[in-house]
Chain A
Amino acid sequence: MNGRIAALNEIRLGRRPFLAGLGVAAGGLAGGLSLEAGDAFAAAPGSPSFSPNVFVHIAPDGEVTLVCHRSEMGQGVRSSLPVLLADELGADMARVKISQADGDAVYGDQNTDGSSSIRGHYDSTRRIAATARSMLVNAAAKRWGVKPESLVARHHRVEHAASGRSMGFGELVALAQREPIPKPETVRLRPDVELEHVGKELPHLDAKAFVTGAAPFGADVRVPGMLVAVIARPPVVGGRVLGFDREAALAVRGVRHVVQLPEPKKPYVFQSWGGVAVIADDTWAALKGRAALAVRWEHGENASYDSEKYRDTLKASARAPGTALRQLGDAPAALATAARTVEAEYYLPHLPHAPMEPPVALAHVAGGRCEVWAATQNPQAARREAARALGMDEKDVTVHVTFLGGGFGRKSKADFVSEAVLLSREVNAPVRVQWTREDDVRHDYYHTVSQQRLVAGLGADGKLVAWHHRSAFPPIGSLFGSAPRPTAGDFQQGVLDLALDVPNVLSEACEAPAHVRIGWLRSVYNIFHSFASNCFIDEIAHARGADPRAVMLEVFGPARRIATPDELGVKELRNYGGSLTEYPVDVGRLRGVVERVTEISGWSQREKKGRSLGLAAHRSFHSYVAVVASVAQAPNGKLAVDEAWVAIDAGKILNPDRVRAQMEGSVIFGMSLAFHGAITMREGATVQSNFRDYRLVRIGDAPRAIHVHIEPSDELSGGAGEPGVPPVAPAIANAVFALTGKRVRDLPLNLAFDV
């Protein structure tokens, strides 16, 4: 008896304890609320609390519990959306508790992806709170026999200024419970001037939990009897187990079980990857057991995949006509008669996500129920995948969401949850699946590899008469069984929505079959589309001997709101889920961030001794970001970004400091992929394995200063988590050219430079 399990902490997360405290019956939740449909959720009869919907709960003592339904992975959503709820409600943040939602469709969309938490939930969040507020106000109005319009809800009270009367939220609970629940679309929102917190400097509500080690991440959850699994996975996608040494693994003290996982079937989606799990009392024993397994593999159909050779395949593909997805005028004819042409090809490799916390999930399957605790960006997808893998009904699966030690798109896939639930059922105990860093780097859903070819036709005056863009990359759709060719949905990211004041435009999607699992990585296809278009504009400028800033503004054209697909030359634009009328390609805003960032960075003096500036700008996720990077070369030849400037126009901003933090982080993220980022495959298997051969930017490489300017705006909110990334790498590459005269068209930069 080592006593070790008994010594473990027990941490309970999620809705259940909190619901028990509020006396809300879980059955009521399963009844279903669709906020989109304008339904509402009444508190269970006899509940002491006022819960007009699943997001807002007010206890008789006045404590307000607000539910955050989006996953916290560093973007600060828990310090943002609940603050908007509190502000609209009139609650005092000091008396607010934030609860993390489980995965459940009652909360609406929980897929924390696509930089959508604020831009997609700003209005609905306010309506949820306004619903609760109006019921509190109506209750007080009845009590006092006054008109609701004569009352205000603020500082945790409802006040009647005329008579000086007021009641606290807690005192109003019992009365508010008797009020009818208005439809969210009918409630009146506060005028913006009444919002006390929105747009102000807000505290980071989870910061203290992070700096004391108290915040529970995926691997920190403990339940009694829990075992730890590590898995030996096939090195090549589609590979299978031929044999392994079960007894050697079981001989390791602490190892309890060795379980072979089912082989996934195409399309792979979020299924477990297969392989052999070693399940032990603790992580160390599981790791030792796995090392003893000596698995023999059959590598399968992707065993010949070699990323260096594949590069030639992609290059050939981008040199041949593809599917035209954007057409204005007649680009081939205009190119044939242009005074001169400029052309260039760009290659960006696969990238891993490498969140600091590798994937991890804990599952307990017992008694016809399944309970999961996971660091997941998409708890509803995790719930669906768990139910699918187990053949259970979703209603019998609960997914609690922990803090995520980074996500970047990796944790929107539920494969690690699938592994945990299968293993828990198999060994009849709670099982935590712990991925090692090597597992993470070798078995990721990689950012795709891309080859692009751009040709510009210039008139005698130097102005662009034609723009021809081909892009070849295995699309994420391949994970779900799609054709091996990018779609218009993929091309919306920086190709179809690129602002071009050019009469003849042709954009083509070229074939590219996938040989690894492809997935979303922070800003996705924008990474390489922004790289190519921004570097290409810089190349055109230098070919003309002109200022890149001036040429960029000329290519984007005059300020205008492009609000129809016709103007872009496309059939339709997915436009990040927003209509073009509401979220046009606003060239004025794009120009605005370019003008701002070049002003604050001192662009007019861009060639100073020892350093040069590079510029890039990009629209994505309904936001506009421009970056200027200053690149310097040390006496030993090493290149470094010593300073960077970011201007962002993300419309209305809820939490400016977290937006600044996202821009700072985006610069570092973009630097990592620009300088070091490359995953390569040999014989179908990933060559890199850990931070030794997959390098990331370290503190000594970080700029001494990253200046972030947030453009004041009343436009609809755009995203912030991703839009900062796309302009960073091209700004660096353009600065590198300005400094060294060497044009980099293939990333990472460490192929050509000492970095």
Chain B
Amino acid sequence: MTETGWTTLQFRVNGVAREVEVDPEMPILWVLRDVLGLTGTKYGCGQALCGACSVHLDDHVIRSCCTPVRRAQGRSITTIEGLSEDGSHPLQRAWVELGVPQCGYCQAGQIMTAAALLRQRPQPTDEQIEQSLAGNLCRCGTYTRIRAAVKRAAGL
């Protein structure tokens, strides 16, 4: 650790090994966006209230705006850029087919949250979808299509 508290951390992002020298308290969101240049993950509230910053830490959805990067040490982060090679994840396809996005800003967070849900519950009920996505705000109001797209991706 340096005198200002910075430290060197190693973790994987979308399968690629990364090493950063940063303030270990810096939220993963800003490490992804400002340090690594992965801007698909969005800032919306900084307080884990809106879900725009949702990414996977190992297999769990986290709000990256409130998760200090020290918690990523030795672990694996997946962002929207790494969900699929080419936008072909069933959720991404369903989102396009059903024209879910309006402004698009919250959708990476919605999809990352839904992806973790489908891994746990491949055939979720409406209630499970709502529970899982309760932390993801969409100001444009695409919720009915989000619900439909999660079900389509699940083959329901």
Binding site for B on A (CB under 8 A): 2, 4, 7-9, 72-76, 203-204, 206-217, 219-220, 222, 228, 253-254, 281-285, 288, 354-358, 403-408, 434, 436-438, 657-658, 661-662, 664-669, 690-692, 696-700, 702-706
Contact = CB atoms under 8 A, between A and B. Distances in A.
Interface in B108-141: 108, 111, 126, 129-131, 133-134, 136-141
A658 B103 CA distance: 11
B34 A668 contact: no
A666 B102 CA distance: 12
In the A-B complex, the 4 residue pairs with the closest CB atoms: A213-B40, A668-B141, A405-B105, A210-B104
Contact of B139 (A2, A355, A438, A658): A355
B62 to A, nearest CB: 17
Contacts of A211: 80, 87, 91-92, 95-96, 100-101, 104, 107-108, 111
B37 A7 contact: yes
A105 B71 CA distance: 50
Contacts of A76: 102
Interface string B144-156: 1111000000000
A700 B130 contact: yes
Contacts of A214: 40
A210 B101 contact: yes
A72 B101 CA distance: 12
A232 to B, nearest CB: 15
Contacts of B144: 664, 702-706
Nearest to A356: B105
Contacts of B105: 217, 355-357, 403, 405-406
Contacts of B38: 213
Contacts of B139: 354-356, 406, 408, 669, 696
Contact of B107 (A7, A210, A283): A210
Given A357-B42, A437-B44, A691-B45, A282 B35 contact: yes
B23 A213 contact: no
B139 to A, nearest CB: 5
A699 B147 contact: yes
A26 B79 CA distance: 39
A669 B102 CA distance: 13
Contacts of A662: 102
A1 to B, nearest CB: 9
Q: Tell me the interface secondary structure of chain B in the complex.
A: loop
Nearest to B87: A212
- Most-contacted residue by chain A among B47, B91, B131 (CB, 10 A): B47
B96 A208 contact: yes
A253 B47 contact: no
A698 B134 contact: yes
Contacts of A436: 46
Nearest to B18: A7
Given A217-B105, A667-B141, A704-B126, A357 B44 contact: yes
A691 B40 contact: no
Interface string B42-60: 1111110110100000000
Contact of A699 (B34, B79, B108, B146): B146
B43 A219 contact: yes
B66 to A, nearest CB: 12
B99 interface: yes
5 contacts: A209-B104, A211-B87, A211-B108, A254-B23, A357-B105
B29 to A, nearest CB: 9
A495 to B, nearest CB: 27
Nearest to A665: B141
Nearest to B94: A211
Interface residues of B, number: 65
Contacts of A8: 34, 37
Interface of B: 4, 6, 21-23, 26-27, 30, 33-47, 49-50, 52, 79-81, 83-84, 87, 91-92, 95-96, 99-108, 111, 126, 129-131, 133-134, 136-147
B42 A356 contact: yes
* Interface hub of B34, B37, B133, B145 (most chain A Cβ within 10 A): B34
Contacts of B23: 253-254, 284-285, 288
Contacts of B84: 212
A220 B38 CA distance: 9
A285 B6 CA distance: 12
Contacts, number: 214
B15 to A, nearest CB: 15
Contact of B140 (A74, A203, A705): A74
**Among B45, B49, B106, B130, which residue has the most Cβ atoms of chain A within 10 A?**
B45
Given A9-B37, A253-B4, A699-B134, A204 B141 contact: no
Given A207-B96, A702-B141, A703-B144, A73 B103 contact: yes
A212 B103 contact: no
Nearest to A692: B49
A4 B32 CA distance: 11
Contacts of A700: 130-131, 134
B136 A699 contact: yes
Most buried by B among A253, A692, A699: A699
Given A75-B102, A213-B38, A698-B143, 11 more contacts: A74-B101, A74-B102, A209-B104, A212-B40, A212-B81, A253-B6, A403-B103, A404-B103, A406-B105, A669-B141, A690-B49
A74 B21 contact: no
A282 B44 CA distance: 17
Contacts of B130: 699-700
A207 B35 contact: no
Contacts of A253: 4, 6, 23
Contacts of A696: 137, 139
A345 to B, nearest CB: 29
A408 B26 CA distance: 31
Nearest to A705: B144
A436 B45 CA distance: 7
A206 B101 contact: yes
Contact of A356 (B50, B79, B91, B129): B50
A375 to B, nearest CB: 9
B34 A4 contact: yes
Contacts of B80: 211-213
Contacts of A283: 30, 33-34, 43
Contacts of B138: 356, 668, 699
Contacts of A354: 139
Contacts of B33: 219, 283
A376 to B, nearest CB: 14
Contacts of A690: 45-47, 49
Given A282-B35, A691-B47, A405 B104 contact: yes
Contact of B52 (A222, A254, A356, A658): A356
Given A222-B37, A665-B140, A217 B30 contact: no
Nearest to A658: B99
A85 to B, nearest CB: 21
Given A208-B96, A253-B4, A690-B45, A74 B129 contact: no
Q: Taking each of B39, B40, B106, which has the highest tally of chain A beta carbons within 10 Å of its own beta carbon? A: B39
Contact of A220 (B21, B39, B111, B134): B39
A615 B79 CA distance: 43
B143 to A, nearest CB: 4
A669 B35 CA distance: 35
Given A282-B30, A356-B50, A356-B106, A661 B39 contact: no
Given A211-B87, A228-B34, A405 B42 contact: yes
A214 B147 CA distance: 23
Contacts of A702: 141, 143-144, 147
B26 A284 contact: yes
Contacts of A697: 141, 143
Contacts of B42: 217, 219, 356-357, 405
Contacts of B79: 213
A284 B34 CA distance: 9
Most buried by A among B27, B36, B79, B99: B99
B26 A9 contact: no
